[in-house]
Amino acid sequence: MKDLCNYSLLAHNTFGIDVRCSRFLEYETTEEAQQVAQVLASSDTPYIIIGGGSNLLLTRDFEGIVVHSVLKGCSFQGTQMVCGSGVVFDEAVAMSLDHGCYGMENLSLIPGDVGASAVQNIGAYGVEVKDVIVEVEAVEIATGRLCTFTNADCQYGYRDSRFKHEWKNRYLITHVTYQLSADFQPHLDYGNIRAELERCGIAEPTAQQLRQVIIDIRRAKLPDPEEIGNAGSFFMNPIVSREKYEALAAEYPGMPHYTVDAMHEKIPAGWMIDQCGWKGRSLGRAGVHDRQALVLVNRGGATGQEVVDLCNAIRRDVRETFGIDIHPEVNII
């Protein structure tokens, strides 16, 4: 178990914010997770649990304990894949395809770790990870007890789960089990997947071809955190009533949308931010990416508070223009 004091978190957040924590604990086995749980349970010090830092905005030094998993390893039981919480999620997607197990292709290149995928219910291109999660194994911090939660137990919603609410900071995730399929059934009707396949001359893609197209689309739209600090999509796409959508569609012909159900529509937050004129603009050293308005970036030396100030300015303009509140997908600390 790694146990360090006055530790820099620069390498643990893709926004590239250089702040420190009082103590840093890292576990690489279930037994070490139980040791960490004992430390946390016996201390009055505040703590936070982080994943790969790709969905995190740090605004200040943290006077407490930061916990991180590097628990690796993936195994297969038929079409079920069991992954350690510290496995890079995209590596898990690649491994699933290598083993002829399908269902995660549209989630390719989403940054972050396996453990965080189960907390956040990550999703992209019409697929959410809840669609394939069977169970989540975790250590209860208060008792050190190893628990197993079903998909239903986790109460997954759009970018949401019980781990973000009543279970927040109560468990250390150790493993996630995904139920995949030996039968490849591609999901192609979201965003510009079909257009990109057509451009590549692919009529009926293999799973590997679909994965590569998803990767190409993401790389074309989203900046590399190694080159410019960012946390990917900063805002969640709002879900509004059909009545609200129809009123806006009458005012903005051609407004993109995705039907959620008979009563609700999802409107891309990036489109609204772009309509408000924010794409490519900056506020101090924080800015909006010039190719994808959903992405906020650190243009160099930005503080977490500068990114928060930009976030708030964008939210205000979207609210005033469209009458819709958009909310950060990123965890702000």
Q: Which residues are catalytic?
A: 159, 233, 329
**φ and ψ at 177, to 5 degrees?**
-110, 125
DSSP H or E segment with residue 216 = helix 207-221
Instruction: Measure the CA–CA gap between 109 and 227, rounded to whole angstroms.
Output: 16
Structure-derived torsion over alpha carbons of residues 155, 156, 157, 162, reported in degrees to the nearest 10: 60
Per residue, what are the HEC states of 43-74?
Answer: CCCCEEEECCCCCEECCCCEEEEEEEECCCCE
Rounded to an integer, what distance in angstroms lies between the CA atom of residue 216 and that of residue 184?
A: 20
Strand duo 20-27 + 62-69: pairing: parallel
Among residues 113, 135, 141, the alpha carbon closest in space to that of 55 is found at 113
In the chain, the largest separation of any two C-alpha atoms, in whole Å, equals 60
Whole-angstrom Cα distance, residue 306 to residue 308? 5
3-state secondary structure of 262: coil
Contact in structure between 310 and 316 (CB atoms under 8 Å): no
Residue 198 backbone class (left: φ over 0; alpha: ψ -120 to 50; beta: rest) = alpha
